[in-house]
Structure 1
C-alpha cells in the first residue's frame, strides 16, 4: 500500500527558534511524487506546498498548507487526498494550530492540535470514520513542533557555515507522540532542477534512535532554501519528490 502522506515525515528542522527570512506569504511549490514499482520509478501523485496570510482578532498568522493527491489514472488503484496545514507565527514559525486530514483509499483520519506554549501542552482532537471522536491533552517539550512547521523551519536556518557531518536531534509531535529525529548536513552539491542547475545544501534524515537513514533532501543554496529534490525510503519501498514549479518566492 502506497502512503504518500509518509513523504512529509522526511522533511526536518535543524533549528527551532530561527527567524524567518526565507518564506513569504504567497509561495507555492509543486512536486511530482514518484514511487519505485517493480524496479521502475513511476509518477503517481502531486504534492503542493502553499503559504498565505490569515488575520485573527489577536494576530496575523502564516498558514502553511501541504496537499498530496494521486493523479486520476491511479485513483482506482489507490486514491489519496491528504491535507496537512499549520498556522504559525510569520517570524518564528512557532505553531499555534495544526490540522492533518488523511483520506487514503478506505482509510480516513483527522487530527487537530491546539498548542499552548505557556503550559507546554497540546489539545488534540482525533476523528475517524462514523464520527468517532477522541479528545486528549498531551504534554510536550518546549521545542516540540508539528510536522508541517518542522518542514518549513529547516529553511530558516543558516546552513552556510556548517561542517559536513554536523547533526542535530529534534522533536516532532506526530499522532500524539513525540518523535526524536536526526538530520545530518552532508555538504553542497549542484543538481539539475525545474529551475535549472542549482547549487544545493544536501541533508540526510533518519531516526535519532538508530543510524538508519530514511531520506535525503536537497535545498537550494540561496536565500529561499526551497526543497528542490527529495529521495525517501518507506517500509514498502523507495521514491522521490521532484520540484516542478515554484512561484511567489520571498527572495
Structure 2
C-alpha cells in the first residue's frame, strides 16, 4: 500500500507543475513565448523529514506538426522515476496534446498513466463546431468509459493550459489577486483559481538565480489536491515564463520540481541573474 502511495508522487508533481501555473488566459491571445523545438527539463525531488531525494525527472517538449492537414503544435510531457528507484515506486506518465498554432486551442489530448500497479488512459477529442469534448477514459481493469463533456469557452486540458498561461500579460494583475481558471481533469471540467503573489528572486539547487513571478493555487475539493494553498510556483519574469521551481505539500512530506535546462527557446532568458 505504501509503495502504491509513493508511486503516485511523481505524477502529482507533474500535475502540480501544470495546475499551479495554469492562469486563465485570454482566449484570443497569440503565442509569443515558445516555438516548435523547445525542450525544458526538471529534476523531481521528494522530501521525507529533512531529506530531499532526487528520484525522478519531468520533461516538456514542443514539436511543429500537422493535425488533419492544419498547422499544429505537438506538445508532450513525460514524468518518470529513475531506474534505481523503480523497485520502490515505478512511474512512467506521459501527457500529449495537439493544439492550433494561433490561439493554442486543443484538437486532441492523451494521457497514459503507469504508477506502480495503477494504470489509466485518457483521450479527449475537442469539437469546435458544437463545443463538446468526446472523452474516453479507462482506469485499471474497469471497462472503457465514453462520455460527452460540454466544452466551455477558455477551458483547456492540463497540458495546453501550461503553454496558454505562458502567453499572459501578468502586468494586468495585482499582488494577492485571485485569477480563475477552468480545466478538464479526469473527465470533468473544474473551475479553480490561483493567487498571484508578486515578484521574487529564486535560487535553484545548482546555484542559478532568477527573477520570477510567484503564484499559489487555491484548489477546490474534488481535484487531486485538497483545498488550500499548499502549492507554490515560480516562473521566469521574462517572455518565456518558464517554471523554475514548483513546491507542493502532500499527505506525507513534500514534492518539488526544479528547473535543469532548456533548449530551443523562442526568447532569451533575461530573468536569470548572472
TM-score, L = length of structure 1: 0.93
Match of 2:25?
A: 15
Measure how far apart 1:129 and its partner are. Answer: 4.6
Structure 2 gap ranges (5+): 268-274
Q: Counterparts of 2:136 and 2:115 in 1: how far apart (Å)? A: 19
Structure 1, residues 130-182: CA drift from partner, whole Å, max 9, x if none?
69422221223222211101122211101134221121111111111111211
Structure 1 gap ranges (5+): none
Q: Counterparts of 1:134 and 1:154 in 2: how far apart (Å)? A: 30
Say if 1:161 and 1:173 are closer, same or farther in 2 by CA, change over 3 A: closer
Match of 1:90?
A: 101
Contact 1:117-1:142 at 8 Å conserved across structures: no
Q: Counterparts of 1:195 and 1:62 in 2: how far apart (Å)? A: 33
Match of 2:270?
A: none
Q: Does 1:24 align with 2:35?
A: yes
Name the stretch that deviates more: 56-65 or 92-101: 56-65
Match of 1:240?
A: 256
Alignment of 1:182-197 (within 5 A): 182-193=193-204, 196-197=208-209
Q: Counterparts of 1:211 and 1:168 in 2: how far apart (Å)? A: 16
Contact 2:137-2:144 at 8 Å conserved across structures: yes
Match of 2:59?
A: 48
> Which of 183, 190, 210 pairs up with 1:198?
210
Structure 1, residues 112-145: CA drift from partner, whole Å, max 9, x if none?
0001133121111123456942222122322221
Contact 2:197-2:214 at 8 Å conserved across structures: yes
Measure how far apart 1:29 and its partner are. Answer: 0.6
> Which of 123, 133, 152 pairs up with 1:122?
133
Q: Does 1:63 align with 2:79?
A: no
Name the stretch that deviates more: 141-150 or 234-243: 234-243
Number of equivalences: 251
Name the stretch that deviates more: 193-202 or 229-238: 193-202
Q: Does 1:224 align with 2:240?
A: yes
Measure how far apart 1:199 and its partner are. Answer: 0.7
Contact 2:126-2:133 at 8 Å conserved across structures: yes
Q: Counterparts of 1:60 and 1:214 in 2: how far apart (Å)? A: 39
Contact 2:24-2:154 at 8 Å conserved across structures: no
Name the stretch that deviates more: 4-13 or 65-74: 4-13
Match of 1:180?
A: 191
What's the RMSD between the two structures over aligned residues?
2.0
Q: Does 1:162 align with 2:151?
A: no
